[in-house]
């Protein structure tokens, strides 16, 4: 939990906060940050062209994000300093779990899921202070908005609507209602949403109407059932537990939400007034 701020950005993880004064009066000054503001490393595998100049081209990918925070802790007295050292040593001590690193910057608050990946360094200095270094790694290199975005729509109803097979750009007709979402990613990098389809619903389809990419499912959801689709993990779970990835129709595409607005159409074989599609996503930055 954040105490009194000393400066920004404020770094919070596992109950510790840098650039704040904690409840014991210890000032945690972060004097050096590496890996948060800069972009994650580029992973590129090129194969040299035999007996020719250059290499065969290949796509590049981003590696994990390694974040190192270095600074000085200033305690009001010796006992507070020793207790502060113990608290810092316990940050991210559970190596089995990813925990959120929340960074409050002047223009926005963002987060990444991290784990400790190096020893925490503590060096005593004079006048009740010590220097520290905390290194953590986010396997997912993107920085995400702290707040989770969500949007919901029913199936389209009444007259008009779309005509199948689809042709682009889509014309919904004068009498259509529902079935559409406009999802905005305010970041600078594509983000992968989670979809939740609540029944009753027969053969649901989620379409990115800007590109024609769609996720279509050959299954029937009864009333009270829901399908959870994690596009990052590429998982399809009935009631959030039982895999139904085999119901994904051939030709389906896992599509992200690119920076800006993404128009989405939700449809099914039959109209059911209680059916709902819910999208959840976080804005993303490199």
158 in the same domain as 36: no
Say whether both 121 and 172 belong to one domain: no
Q: Each residue of 202-230: b (16+ CB within 10 Å) or e?
A: bbbbbbbbbeeebbbbebbbeeeebbbbb
* Total count of domains within the chain: 2
Q: pTM to 2 decimals? A: 0.88
267-284 residues labelled b (16+ CB within 10 A) or e (exposed): bbeebbeebbbbbbbbbb
Q: Are residue 49 and residue 116 in the same domain, yes or no?
A: yes
Last residue of a domain, one of 143, 168, 196: 143
Does 92 share its domain with 60?
Answer: yes
Q: What is the Cα–Cα distance from 179 to 168, expressed in whole angstroms?
A: 17
Q: Which of the listed residues 143, 177, 210 is the one where a domain comes to its end?
A: 143
What residue has token string 């819910």?
Answer: 278
pLDDT tens digit at each of 286 positions of the chain: 457 999 999 999 999 999 999 999 999 999 999 999 999 999 999 999 999 999 999 999 999 999 999 999 999 999 999 999 999 999 999 999 999 999 999 999 999 999 999 999 999 998 789 999 999 999 999 999 999 999 999 999 853 445 555 655 555 443 345 899 999 999 999 999 999 999 999 999 999 999 999 999 999 999 999 999 999 999 999 999 999 999 999 999 999 999 999 999 999 999 999 999 999 999 999 9
> Do 204 and 160 reside in the same domain of the chain?
yes
Distance of alpha carbon 41 from alpha carbon 191, whole angstroms: 18
State the CATH number of the domain containing residue 274. Answer: 2.60.120.860
**Owning domain of residue 135:** 4-143
Query: Residues 262, 163: one domain?
Result: yes
| Of 176, 180, 183, the residue nearest 153 (C-alpha) | 180
Instruction: Please name the residue that has the structure tokens 């085999």.
Output: 246
């Amino acid at each position: 939990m954040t105490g009194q701020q000393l400066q920004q950005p404020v770094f919070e993880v596992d109950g510790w906060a840098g650039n704040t004064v904690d409840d014991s009066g210890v000032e945690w000054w972060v004097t050096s940050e590496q890996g948060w503001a800069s972009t994650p490393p580029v992973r590129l595998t090129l194969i040299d062209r035999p007996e020719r100049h250059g290499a065969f081209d290949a796509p590049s990918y981003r590696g994990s994000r390694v974040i190192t925070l270095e600074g000085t802790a200033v305690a009001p007295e010796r006992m507070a300093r020793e207790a502060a050292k113990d608290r810092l040593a316990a940050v991210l001590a559970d190596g089995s779990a990813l925990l959120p690193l929340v960074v409050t910057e002047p223009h926005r608050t963002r987060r990444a899921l991290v784990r400790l990946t190096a020893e925490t360094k503590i060096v005593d200095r004079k006048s009740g202070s010590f220097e520290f270094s905390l290194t953590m790694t986010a396997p997912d290199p993107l920085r995400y908005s702290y707040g989770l975005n969500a949007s919901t729509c029913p199936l389209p109803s009444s007259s008009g609507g779309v005509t199948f097979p689809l042709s682009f750009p889509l014309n919904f007709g004068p009498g259509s209602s529902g079935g559409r979402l406009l999802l905005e990613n305010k970041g600078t990098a594509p983000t992968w949403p989670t979809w939740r389809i609540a029944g009753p619903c027969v053969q649901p389809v989620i379409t990115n109407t800007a590109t024609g990419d769609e996720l279509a499912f050959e299954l029937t959801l009864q009333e009270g059932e829901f399908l959870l689709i994690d596009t990052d993990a590429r998982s399809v779970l009935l009631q959030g537990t039982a895999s139904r990835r085999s119901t994904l129709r051939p030709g389906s595409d896992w599509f992200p939400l690119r920076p800006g607005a993404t128009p989405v159409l939700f449809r099914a074989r039959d109209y059911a007034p209680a059916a709902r599609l819910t999208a959840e996503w976080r804005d993303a930055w490199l």
